[in-house]
Amino acid sequence: MPTQVCRAKSPEGEFLRTAGIDKHWVTSNGYMSVVSPGGKYLGATAAKGYEEFLKLPEDERKPGAVQVPDLKPGEELIPAPPPGGLVLKVHARFLGVDDKGALRYAKAEDFPLMESKNTWNLFLQPNTEYMWLTQEEWKSLVPAAPVRGGTMNVAPAIVERMARFHLTPRRAMTSEDGILRKDAVKTARMTLVVEEVTAERIRLRVDGVIHTGTEFNAAEATTPNGPLAFGFATPLRGILDYDRAKNVFTRFDVAAPGEVWGRWGDANGKSLFAERPGKTPFGFAFELAAGDTPTDRLPPGGNGQRAESAGYFSRP
């Protein structure tokens, strides 16, 4: 849970503090906090939580015993997806190159600065977050009069958002932040090409390019502690399918098999274990979020307030 929610003078913050879980975090090993509807901490496992729940008075356990009012305007601290909008799941992953020059999953031995290489299996797994499009934005991706071979440019606001908030390799190091300034975006363009038109479907091919940070300079892409000259460049390739009867996208697959270079500076500007010399592969992939789990409602970058304050929905 974002720190600002735990500290906020709001119904959400008060609930977390009352339950004593304002300093607890969801973890990859399954650690959890079980809380009663009334805000009582019941334990750190489902079994223990159920055991403690049965000890509560019946008037606290029966259905409807606790009424949770809707949040008033301005009280909701974690933003919700825009009404009628589109949610995309974004996967980010370090990659490597095999002896034939083909892409593969990264291995610990690909990172010369990584110590205790056997402990970094989770670090090398995909990092997942979410991108939001407003209803107006996703509708702008549908050609009004589709003709096979026709092309259209994606709105700069959408492509810049991808570049600044989602196609940032440092996001693989954390579930929050990694937001780029506008002037870090050197190139951001995406074109849709109509590949197929039927009464039921429009298929669009994605073609684009993103470049953020510096130009590649081999002399500056050194490790450890070489000059800070971080950069990332990637093509954009994908397929979008639009259902004309239902007026919805049924497929939104976009891949960004890019390359990253330069120094992954930490808070003190020193090299991090993620750093590799030269240009190295790093991949992203976008797909439609099913929308049937709470995680599909997570805000961009894991912290919606930070994304909003950085201009997530602003136009270039």
- For residue 26, the enclosing domain spans 3-61
Select the more confidently predicted residue: 175 or 220.
220
Select the more confidently predicted residue: 224 or 123.
224
Task: Looking at the structure, tell me whether residues 216 and 290 fall in a common domain.
Answer: yes
Q: Give SS3 for 211.
A: strand
Confidence band for 97, pLDDT divided at 50, 70 and 90? very high
Residue 112: is it exposed, middle or buried by C-beta count within 10 angstroms (0-12/13-18/19+)? exposed
At a CB cut-off of 8 Å and minimum separation 6, what does 191 contact?
151, 152, 153, 154, 206, 207, 208
- Maximum Cα interatomic distance, the chain, rounded to a whole number of Å: 70
Residue 316, domain member (yes or no): no
Q: Which residues pair with 251 in a beta bridge?
A: 241
Task: Looking at the structure, tell me whether residues 189 and 297 fall in a common domain.
Answer: yes
Q: What is the mean pLDDT of residues 215-230?
A: 88
Confidence band for 244, pLDDT divided at 50, 70 and 90? very high
Residue 185, domain member (yes or no): yes
Residue 118, pLDDT score:
64
pLDDT digits (tens, 9 = 90+) for 51-69: 888 898 888 888 877 777 7
Tell me how many domains the chain contains: 2
Angle subtended at Cα 306 by Cα 301 and Cα 307, rounded to the nearest 5 degrees: 55
Cα gap 179→45, rounded to integer Å: 35
Confidence band for 84, pLDDT divided at 50, 70 and 90? very high
Query: Considering only CA atoms, which of 285, 312, 272 is closest in space to residue 112?
Result: 272
Most confident of 165-174, 264-273, 277-286: 277-286
Share of the chain above pLDDT 70, in %: 91
Tokens in use for 90? Answer: 């974004």
pLDDT digits (tens, 9 = 90+) for 10-37: 887 777 777 777 666 655 555 567 877 7
Q: What is the mean pLDDT of residues 82-111?
A: 94
Residue 209 is classified by DSSP as E
Residue 76, domain member (yes or no): no
Which phi and psi angles does 44 have, rounded to 5°? -105, 5
Residue 68, domain member (yes or no): no
Which phi and psi angles does 25 have, rounded to 5°? -135, 150
Task: Looking at the structure, tell me whether residues 91 and 57 fall in a common domain.
Answer: no
Residue 220, domain member (yes or no): yes
Task: Looking at the structure, tell me whether residues 192 and 57 fall in a common domain.
Answer: no
Neighbours of 13 (CB within 10 A): 18
Confidence band for 50, pLDDT divided at 50, 70 and 90? confident
